[in-house]
Amino acid sequence: MTEAAQPARPEPRVTAWGWRAFAIAAAVILLDQATKYWILEVLRLPERATQEVMWPLQFTRIWNEGVSFGLFQAGHDIVRWGLVVFSVGVAVLLSFWARNQTRLLSAVGLGLVIGGAVGNAIDRARFGAVVDFIDVQRLGFFPWIFNVADSGITIGVILLLWDSLRPQRAA
């Protein structure tokens, strides 16, 4: 049988790096929700109370009704559910992109962003706001309180930008 006569192998539905991106997203969601559960149910940290951890880290629980880092506060239910739909929509679209990944940084970045978006969407759906508690304000230059999902989104975007600046390798 000649090469031309051999049937073409179908491309895999999800690449190995795509599966890794999905695993990273799942890990971010689990870690995010576990830490929020711990802050709310185990530590029972009251709103606006601060628990010292070690310099410069402290835990200060707040409810974030806005977008990232408290921007664009959403006081209405329609905005809340709009942000849930938007976050899930972004995660779904990024999942289509992630499934065909062949590069480490983009797969990791997409996994982090997908996991972060879903983690915060779960909070909005459950509580009407996102649970934020990681506080490093004592550093003096970072005034926001955030969570694991926010960290995933931020680091993921940085990795995606970094990867976009790197040259493509020939196949």
Catalytic positions = 132, 150
Q: Residue 73: exposed, middle, or buried by beta-carbon count in 10 A (0-12, 13-18, 19+)?
A: exposed
**45-57 CB burial, b ≥16 within 10 A, e <16:** beeeeeeeeeeee
- At 50 the three-state DSSP class reads strand
Q: Which residue type is seen at 4? A: A
**Start-end of H helices in the chain:** 16-37, 77-98, 104-127, 148-165
Query: 7 pairs with which residues across the strands?
Result: none
- At 100 the three-state DSSP class reads coil
